[in-house]
Structure 1
C-alpha cells in the first residue's frame, strides 16, 4: 500500500536518524521518562515505545515514572503526583528528563525545574508550548499537532454538509484541542464534552441530530473497560461520517487520520542523546510532529452506506474489517 509504505519509510527515517545520533555508547548515563498518564492508555504507550526504541542499544539507563493523572483528575492528586515525580528525579539523578503531555509540564517542570541546570525534553504538548514559557535554556521538545484538516478532507466526500461536531471526555487536553481547532485552524463546530460512558453515548446521539460530521477526540483510556460495549454502540448508531486523530479510537470511527505517538517518543530520545553529546537544549529547536496514518473502518463505513474507492483502501495504512 503506497500510503502505508510512505508512513513506514517516514518512521524508519526518524529511527535511522535517532540511531545515527546514538552510534556511540553512553555508559553510566541516565534518562528518566515521566508519563503524565498511565500504562494502557494508547497514546502514552506509543510515546514510551518510541522512547525505548530510540534509546535501545545506547547503554543509557532508562527509568519510567507514571503520574496517572488521566484517571485521577483532582488538583490535589496532581500536586501529590508532581511531588512524587520530583522525589524520583532527586533519587534517580538523571542526566536528562523526558516528559510526556501537559500535566508533567505544568506541575513538575514549571514550578521546580524551569531555567534550572537539569535538561528536559517535553513531548505531547498540544499545539503550542509557549503557555508554559517553553523553550528555555534547559528545555526543548516536540509539540503535538492534530492532523484535523487532513482528516476532514477525507470525511467531507461522505457528508451531506459541512456542519462539524466534536465529542470527547471533559478533560483539559480535549478542551485545549478544541480551542486550537477554533483559534489555529479557524473551525466552527458544536462541541460536547462528556463525563462518563453513558454521557459519551448521549452526546454522540445528540450531535448526530445537529451536524454532518463528527470528530471523536481521545477518551484518554478512561473508557477502556467499556471498549466492546462502545464498539457495538458506534457500529449500531453511527448515521453520519465520523473521524478521529487517534489510532486507538478508530474502532469507534469511520476514518482516522492519526498522529503517530512513536514519532514523539523517538524524537525525544534523539534529542536526549544530543544533549548527552553536549548540545544545549536551547540549541535544539522545538519541533512539530509531521507524520500521519490513514485508517479506514469498513464496518462503520458499510453501516453509513459509504462507497469507499478501492484506491483509498489500497492507500490506507490500516483497514478495519
Structure 2
C-alpha cells in the first residue's frame, strides 16, 4: 500500500535536496532517498523495447507554446520515440482559462477522449489535469495514471491512489534566497507573479513549507501592473522572488528586459526557466525532467510494474543562472562558486 504523501514528507525531501551539493555545470542534481523510477527500464534501453499496440494518452493542463508545457512534452516525446507506443496529446488550456467551470468542462471532454482512445496508461501534467480529470473520474480505477507537475502536495486531491504514480513539483526557493542575501542590504523579501491558481499556491506553500514570510506580495494580471509593482518592490523590500509571468497576458520579453535593467536596485531571483533574463540569479526547475520521468514510469507500468509499487518522488534537477548585466547594474561581485556552476546570461 502506498503511503499517503503529506507536507511532512515533502518537507523531508526538500531538506534532502537543499542539503546536497552542486555538480559542475549549469544543472544541479541532488540525490534522493527513494527507489529509482526507472529501475526496470533504463533510459538508453527504452528505444530497444517494443510496446507495439500500446497506447498512452498525455493530458497537458495548459497549452502548446507555454514554455513549461513544451518542456514536459519534449521530455515525454524524447522517451517514447521509437518505443512503438501510440502517443496521443490532449491540451486542456486551463492556463488561459482558469475558471472552475472551464476546468470541469475540459475534464468531461478529457473523459470522453479516454473512453474513445482507450489508453493503456494516462499521463497528466500539472494540477488541473489531475484535479478535473483523474480525481473526479478515475480515482482508484483500473486505468493506470502517471502524474507530474503537481505543485508541492498531492494529498489535497486525496492522492496518491492505488492506480497512480507520480512526481511532485517543488522549488529550491530557500537556497535561492540564501544566494540573494549575499548581495542584499537586508532580509525583507518580496514576491511578484501572475494571478493564477498555481502562482497563489506557490506563494502559500513557500510560507507553509519553508516558513518564508513575504514583506510584500503582488499577484498581477497585466504587464503594466507588473511594472508598477516591480517598482514598488525596489523601495519596499531587499530581495525579490520573480515567480512565473505566464498569467500576464500582454507580457513583452524585450520591453521587460529593458525595464528591469533600467530600474533594478535590489537583487531578484527566478524559479522558472524563462525568468532569469529579468533577475540576478535563477535556480530553476527543468520541465523536461517531469516529462521524462513520467514517460519512463509509464513504460515501467506497461512492462508490468503496478503504479502503487512506484514511490512518489519530487523533481531533483535545477539549472543555475547568473545575469551579468544585472550584476553589473547592481555593482555586485559574484561568488566564484556561482560563476563556476552557472549558465551565464549576458
Instruction: Classify the TM-score, shorter chain.
Output: over 0.9
Q: 151, 171, 192: which one pairs with 1:126?
A: 151
Residue equivalent to 1:193: 219
Q: 206, 226, 240: which one pairs with 1:214?
A: 240
The CA deviation string for residues 159-203 of structure 1, in whole angstroms up to 9 with x for no partner, is: 001110111011111111111111111111121111211111111
The CA deviation string for residues 209-231 of structure 1, in whole angstroms up to 9 with x for no partner, is: 11100001112264475121211
- In the alignment, the residues of structure 2 paired with residue 223 and residue 80 of structure 1 have an alpha-carbon distance, to the nearest angstrom, of 22
1:252 has 2:273 as partner = no
1:231 has 2:257 as partner = yes
- In the alignment, the residues of structure 2 paired with residue 311 and residue 168 of structure 1 have an alpha-carbon distance, to the nearest angstrom, of 29
Answer whether contact 2:141 2:163 (CA < 8 A) is retained.
Answer: yes
Q: How does 1:226-305 map to 2 (within 5 A)?
A: 226-305=252-331
- In the alignment, the residues of structure 2 paired with residue 308 and residue 117 of structure 1 have an alpha-carbon distance, to the nearest angstrom, of 53
Q: How does 1:109-148 map to 2 (within 5 A)?
A: 109-148=134-173
Residue equivalent to 2:25: 4
Structure 2 SS opposite 1:167 = strand
Residue equivalent to 2:68: 43
Answer whether contact 1:18 1:269 (CA < 8 A) is retained.
Answer: no
- In the alignment, the residues of structure 1 paired with residue 234 and residue 86 of structure 2 have an alpha-carbon distance, to the nearest angstrom, of 49
RMSD of aligned residue pairs (Cα, Å): 2.2
Give the Å deviation of 1:18: 3.0
Give the Å deviation of 1:9: 11
Answer whether contact 1:117 1:138 (CA < 8 A) is retained.
Answer: yes
- In the alignment, the residues of structure 1 paired with residue 337 and residue 141 of structure 2 have an alpha-carbon distance, to the nearest angstrom, of 52
Q: Which sits farther off after the overlay, 290-299 or 307-316? A: 307-316
Normalising by the residue count of structure 1, what TM-score does the alignment of the two structures yield?
0.93
Normalising by the residue count of structure 2, what TM-score does the alignment of the two structures yield?
0.86
Question: Could you say if the C-alpha distance between residues 67 and 312 of structure 1 is closer, same or farther in structure 2, counting changes exceeding 3 Å?
Answer: same
Answer whether contact 1:155 1:213 (CA < 8 A) is retained.
Answer: yes
- In the alignment, the residues of structure 2 paired with residue 144 and residue 118 of structure 1 have an alpha-carbon distance, to the nearest angstrom, of 23
Q: How does 1:85-96 map to 2 (within 5 A)?
A: 85-96=110-121
Give the Å deviation of 1:233: 1.2
- In the alignment, the residues of structure 2 paired with residue 255 and residue 9 of structure 1 have an alpha-carbon distance, to the nearest angstrom, of 19
- In the alignment, the residues of structure 2 paired with residue 34 and residue 161 of structure 1 have an alpha-carbon distance, to the nearest angstrom, of 44
Q: 98, 104, 122: which one pairs with 2:123?
A: 98
Structure 1 SS opposite 2:275 = helix
- In the alignment, the residues of structure 2 paired with residue 186 and residue 225 of structure 1 have an alpha-carbon distance, to the nearest angstrom, of 30
User: What stretches of structure 1 of length at least 5 have no aligned partner?
Assistant: none
Larger helix fraction of residues: 1
The CA deviation string for residues 118-169 of structure 1, in whole angstroms up to 9 with x for no partner, is: 1111100111111111111111100001010121122111000111011101
Answer whether contact 1:41 1:221 (CA < 8 A) is retained.
Answer: no
